[in-house]
Amino acid sequence: MSDRSTHAAFDRLLTEWEEAIVADDADRIGAFADPEWLFVGKDGPMPGSGFLEAVRSGQVTHDAMRHELHSVVVLGEVAVVVARNVNSGAYQGQRFENDEWTSDVFVRRAGEWRCLLTHLTAREGQSD
Average pLDDT of the chain to the nearest whole number: 94
Query: Does residue 99 carry a pLDDT above 60?
Result: yes
Q: What is the pTM of this model?
A: 0.90
Average pLDDT for 67-83: 97
Bridge pairing between strands 44-47 and 94-109: unpaired
pLDDT in tens, 32-46: 999 999 999 888 999
Contact 14, 6 (CB under 8 A): no
Residue-level pLDDT at 29: 97
Residues 6+ apart with CB under 8 A from 22: 62, 63, 64, 65
Sign of CA dihedral 121, 117, 40, 59: positive
Contact 83, 68 (CB under 8 A): yes
What 3-state class would DSSP assign to 2? coil
Residues 6+ apart with CB under 8 A from 98: 85, 86, 87, 88, 120, 122, 126, 128
| Percentage of residues of the chain with pLDDT beyond 70 | 95
Domains delineated in the chain: 4-122 (3.10.450.50)
Least confident of 45-49, 97-101, 122-126: 122-126
Average pLDDT for 62-78: 97
